[in-house]
Amino acid sequence: MKRIGLFLLTNFAVIAVAMITLNVLGVGSYMEGTSLNLGNLFMFALVIGFAGSFVSLAMSKWLAKMSTGAKVIKQPSNADEQWLFDTVARMSEKAGIKAPEIAVYDSPEPNAFATGMRKNAALVAVSTGLMRGMRKNEVEAVIGHEIAHVANGDMITMALLQGVLNTFVIFFAKIVAWVVDRVVFKNESSGHSITFIIVDIVAQILFGILASIVSMWFSRKREFHADNGGAYLAGKENMIAALKRLQTTQPGELPDQMAAFGISSKPSSFGDLFRSHPPLEDRIAFLENTTEAQLKIA
């Protein structure tokens, strides 16, 4: 129920921001009688596409805390929390960013994620399973991986990419719907017909699948860079050890908004094209073939 509520709240915020933006920009209707105004349609698609992406990003830290129950550590209360603080501070300084908020969430599986709208106002959260089930050098490497995501600006980059993909999905889906409705079915009534609405929905689903393939490809490339950054911050052997440890465990479940920024993920039911993370064996092989001189924050 909590996730459903957060999903509805996020979508309400997206719609509100999009409607306000469209009104401020003075974007008129993209349907003018039986004609399609491509300029208005593109602006409509641009605003709707980026509103969803950036509202989710702006709310990402709050959504992460609410959906996982992550507790932010404001003041270390034990040796483990102090170690987390010191490790994140040291790595953040080496990566050239402000230390993110640190949180711990209750989950038996080892995982961690990073989120936030800006490099210097991010959140890094680790699971209790990660802290209990992995050695400190391995946990350090996982934290380094997440710090690398933040330092590389992966959250904002993914939001920009998703905004562009959303824009083109909406834009071309409505053009296809208009062509099928007006040219194929010869509908001459004004406004949106049932045919237009159905074709629009189907086209958005199909184009959305293609957009997901592009998004997941980029996500997999980004994981290699984060592994490289984690090896730079925590040591190559520690990063490889952490990935090998993850091979022996079940990846932890994360909400959709954070799943792409976790240390690992379960294979997609729809095949490798829809995986947000490369297979662990490929990530290990990548690091084994990377020299110390090539280790860096991308």
Which active-site residues does the annotation give?
146
Residue 272 to residue 217: CA distance in whole angstroms: 9
Q: Are strands 31-32 and 35-36 parallel, antiparallel or unpaired?
A: antiparallel
- The kind and range of the H/E element at 154 are helix 154-178
For residue 291, give the 3-state DSSP assignment.
coil
**DSSP state, 262?**
B
> What is the bridge-based pairing of β-strands 101-105 and 71-72?
antiparallel
Q: Are strands 71-72 and 35-36 parallel, antiparallel or unpaired?
A: unpaired
Q: Which two tokens stand for residue 272?
A: 């490798």
State the burial class of residue 7 (Cβ atoms within 10 Å of its Cβ: 0-12, 13-18, 19+): middle
